[in-house]
Structure 1
Amino acid sequence: MRDSRIETMAVHAGERSPGPDNSVVFPIYQGTVFRSEPGESYHDIQYLRLNSTPSQAYLHDKLAALEGAEDAVATASGMAAVTTTLHALLKAGDHLLVGDVLYGGTHGFLTAHAERLGWTYTFVDPHDPASWAAARRPETKAFLVETITNPLMRVGALTEVVSFARAEGLVSVVDNTFASPVNFRPLAAGFDLVFHSATKYLNGHSDLVAGAVAGSAELVGRIRETLNIYGGSLDPHAGFLLARGLKTLALRVRAQNANAMALAEFLAGRDEVSVVNYPGLGDHPDHAHAKALLSGFGGMLSFRLAGGVPAAESFLSALRLPAVAPSLGGVESLVTRPALTSHAGMTPEARAAAGVHDDLIRLSCGIEHADDLIEDVSGALANR
């Protein structure tokens, strides 16, 4: 399946043919315990917390195939994916290089917990490779960035991150949640590990919370053993829903890409809008290299309205189709103010430094018809 196109891989990769009892759809193995085989090591025992049951193995195979990885593991949330990965890579005394614009949960984890774990970290500008060497220390072990940052949709110098990490002997890690493997395949670009909040695009239906990590068998093996100890395993039923969602990933993401592009172009031409953040626009600061790196610019955009917070609140109240709600990546459009949701855990000063202004609006485009979304947004702008 690795030579197939992603639409075909999403449907068929990882499938058992024929499935148990000749099933076409792989069943849910709800059981937590299975018979042990003589000589099995602890981490090879089939047990739900050890991420080794038939349902989990099936899902891991599918995730690995979509990322072009040797191995993958699913976790109970996106935060479980990133925190377990960092716990597997870092020990007390180690140092991490990390992009200076992060998902609020990742930022909060580092700022609130790294010190007591004995880790140090340095925020670096992922667009400024010349600055990275000065931030690197003898105890630096990894370099963590995001493919498309939340909520300003910046795309860093990802090729340079890979080259720098490789030259310096660091493990390169990327959060590919906003891009999905449809728009960017980090392992093919040279990253060592890729993780996702699978709650978003990988699942795509706003009905489960999950995470995923993929990479080499050696690195994912370390992560899985750490996950086994911390207990952040994914429930079999949620895993079944995630595997089902993956089958339509390419179709959904391409529709979302197209809707986001149409809305970004529409908003960019409106007097009521002061700024639009979308890498598909020619005036976006990262457009040129994003175009070279990505197969699509994603389904996420953000913007600010003339009139500040009052205008933003009036706009949100006037929308008919997108629900005002956190999260993203589902088939339905969602809209939120990140200062109140994804980045609420940051201090006002940290948000301001990251460009996450109180009036910033983030829109996750679903798979509705683009004309209907534009009509709705246009009406909300007129009635704000």
Structure 2
Amino acid sequence: MSKGKKHIETEAIRSQLDRTQFLEHSSPLYLTSSFVFEDAEDMRASFTEEKERNIYSRFTNPNTSELVEKVCLMEGAESGYAFATGMAAIYSTFAALLESGDHIVSARSVFGSTHTLFTKYFPKWQIDTTYFDVTKPETIASCINPKTKILYAESPTNPAVDIIDLDLLGAIAKAHNLILIIDNCFATPYVQQPMKHGAHLVIHSATKLMDGQGRVLGGLTVGNADLIREIYLFARNTGPALSPFNAWLLSKSLETLPVRVDRHCENALKVAEFLENHAKVNWVKYPFLKSHPQYDVAKRQMKLGGNIVAFELKGGVAAGRQFLDGIKMCSLSANLGDTRTIVTHPASTTHSKLSEADRLEVSITDGLVRISVGLEHIDDIIADLEQALN
């Protein structure tokens, strides 16, 4: 692997495996479940971890190691582990670090499956969660109790694109001796590095912008080495490891992450500006729009505004469904971070099983639409949205 601090764009391309005797330019695939040993002593020392080497691909593999090192360099992290999915990363991270009786303080606006972990599964093991309103960060301290161990948040949030002050979270975690974990999926390490603001661990669903083309599933947790050690041991024994092929593909995808995200964000800002001036739209949320409630915070902690735009249609659920039916080019999907622009109406789809009151708690109004802005020509994206609105 390459050494020395370089720009993120360079780390994404030049941080790769040492070449084999064949002197390949691009890292090869290591499609093997296990690795052989030179002799009995080599095998003994490897299993006692006196030697650092590959033993079994559920533990480590050259392809997953390359991917992890790239993301660590980009995030400014000491160590990491690659998982089969983003949710595997989230579950394994919490399960490795928490014990029965521990308490989590989390932002209310979190991914739906994360919310299910907190409210349905963790209580089985006497692990409780208290939510704070992302628009009222001054209430966070009152949620903390003597059993609180983890402070958790996404920023930007899904799907309403709220921004949480990471410096504030870092200060609170330090003052109360908490582990601060940030889901950085919407921003990617190119746009935002939570560890610079006091995070101890950063989680990614690599399925989204990291892959960027809707091809594979993957997840990562990176951060402080002592915490990653516990997560690694948990994952080594429970088996949520990323496959070598997906790791290889994601590592290649990272090489184009900066240039892709630049265009995603450029397009997203133009879409937000278009929607903000449309008569059928009540409001628009995009971190780099001056009208965003946390615009100043976003500009301070993010390099760009991301690729997600949230807006509210006049007319509620009926208008949202009609808008989706009018879409011709953009995709109707629950995914995000793809080269293709994706449109979702949460109230009638991803969050339709929640009561209206529960949806409003996380800023999901009946007319809310989330757009994951892709890489098509901006004129074609806006033309499709305009004809669907009209």
TM-score (norm 1): 0.94
2:121 and 2:380 map into 1 onto residues whose CA distance is 44
Deviations 1:21-48 (A, max 9, x none): 2111111111101124322236766212
Taking a change above 3 Å as real, the CA distance of residues 340 and 63 of structure 1, as seen in their structure-2 partners, is: farther
Report if aligned partners of 2:283, 2:311 keep a CA contact under 8 Å in 1.
yes
RMSD after superposition: 1.7
Which letter maps to 1:3?
K
Q: Which runs of 4+ in 1 moved over 4 A?
A: 42-45, 344-348
2:180 match: 172
- AA aligned opposite 1:40: S
Selected match of 2:11 from 9, 12, 30: 9
- Secondary structure of 1:298 counterpart: coil
Pick aligned residue for 2:273 from 252, 258, 265:
265
- Name the count of aligned residue pairs: 380
Confirm or deny that 1:191 pairs with 2:193: no
Report the counterpart of residue 74 of structure 1 in structure 2. Answer: 82
Shift of 1:314: 2.0
Question: What is the 5 A alignment of 1:29-178?
Answer: 29-36=30-37, 37-41=43-47, 46-50=55-59, 52-178=60-186
- SS of the aligned residue for 1:39 comes to helix
Comparing 204-213 with 273-282, greater Cα deviation is found at 273-282
Shift of 1:280: 1.4
Cα-to-partner distance string for 1:217-242 (whole Å, 9 max, x where unaligned) = 11111111111222111111111111
Gaps of 5+ in 2: 38-42
**Contact kept? 1:19, 1:25, Cα under 8 Å:** no
Q: In the superposition, relative to structure 1, how do residues 340 and 84 fare at CA in structure 2: closer, same or farther (>3 Å)?
A: farther
8 Å contact 2:71–2:189 — kept in the other structure? Answer: no
Which amino acid in the other structure matches residue 32 of structure 1? Answer: S
**How far did 1:297 drift?**
0.8
Name the stretch that deviates more: 37-46 or 66-75. 37-46
| CA separation of 1:344 and 1:86: change in aligned 2, threshold 3 A | farther
The 3 A distance-change label for structure 1 pair 341 and 194 is farther
Code of the residue aligned with 1:336 in structure 2: it is T
C-alpha displacement of 1:18 = 2.8
SS at match of 2:311: strand
Q: Helix, strand or coil for the counterpart of 1:93?
A: coil
For residue 213 of structure 2, give the secondary structure of its aligned residue in structure 1: coil
Amino acid at match of 1:101: S
Which stretch shifts more, 140-149 or 123-132? Answer: 123-132
Rounded Cα–Cα distance in structure 2 between residues aligned with 1:194 and 1:294 = 15
Per-residue CA distance 1:236-270 (angstroms, 9 max, x = gap): 11111111111100011111111110000000001
Letter in 2 for 1:24: H
Paired residues for 1:256-295 under 5 Å: 256-295=264-303
Q: Does the C-alpha gap of structure 1 residues 20 and 356 become closer, same or farther in structure 2, counting only changes over 3 Å?
A: farther
How far apart in 1 are the matches of 2:48 and 2:162? 43
1:308 CA displacement: 1.9
1:28 corresponds to: 29
Unaligned regions of 5+ residues in structure 1, if any?
none
In structure 2, C-alpha distance between the alignment counterparts of 1:125 and 1:99, rounded to whole Å: 6
Tell me, in whole angstroms, the C-alpha distance in 2 between the residues paired with 1:20 and 1:359: 59
- Residues in 2 aligned to 1:2 and 1:148: alpha-carbon distance in whole angstroms: 30
Q: 8 Å contact 2:166–2:198 — kept in the other structure?
A: no
Letter aligned with residue 48 of structure 1: S
Structure 1 counterpart of 2:147, one-letter code: E
The 10-residue stretch of structure 1 (277-286 or 174-183) with the greater mean CA deviation from structure 2: 277-286
Contact map agreement 2:317 2:348 (CA 8 A) in 1? no
**CA offset digits 1:50-81 (Å, max 9, x no partner):** 2x122222222122112111111110111011
CA contact 2:281–2:312 (8 Å) conserved in 1:
yes
SS of alignment partner, residue 22 of structure 2: helix
Amino acid at match of 2:268: A
Confirm or deny that 1:333 pairs with 2:333. Answer: no
| Contact 2:324–2:345 under 8 Å retained in 1 | no
For 1:206, the equivalent position in structure 2 comes to 214
Over 3 Å counting, the alpha-carbon distance change for 1:346 and 1:236 in structure 2 is farther
Map Cα deviations across residues 317-351 of structure 1 (whole Å, 9 max, x no partner).
22222100111001111111123444356454322
Cα separation, partners in 2 of 1:40 and 1:342, compared to 1, 3 Å: farther
* Structure 1 residue 8, shift from structure 2 partner: 1.4
2:299 and 2:239 map into 1 onto residues whose CA distance is 39
How far off its partner does 1:359 sit?
3.0
Give the letter for the 1:150 counterpart.
Answer: N
Query: Which one of 185, 210, 225 corresponds to residue 233 of structure 2?
Result: 225
Corresponding residue SS for 2:44 = coil
Which string of whole-angstrom CA distances, capped at 9 and with x for unpartnered residues, describes residues 191-221 of structure 1?
1000011100111110111111110111111
Could you tell me how far apart the structure 1 residues matched to 2:187 and 2:148 are? 27
Q: Give yes or no for contact 1:153–1:300 (8 Å, CA) kept in 2.
A: yes
| Offset of residue 168 of structure 1 | 0.9
Aligned partners of 2:289 and 2:295 also within 8 Å: yes
Contact 2:88 / 2:219 at 8 angstroms: preserved in 1? yes
Deviation at residue 361 of structure 1 after TM alignment: 1.2
CA displacement 1:133-181 (0-9 Å, x = unmatched):
2211111111001120001100012111001101111010000000111
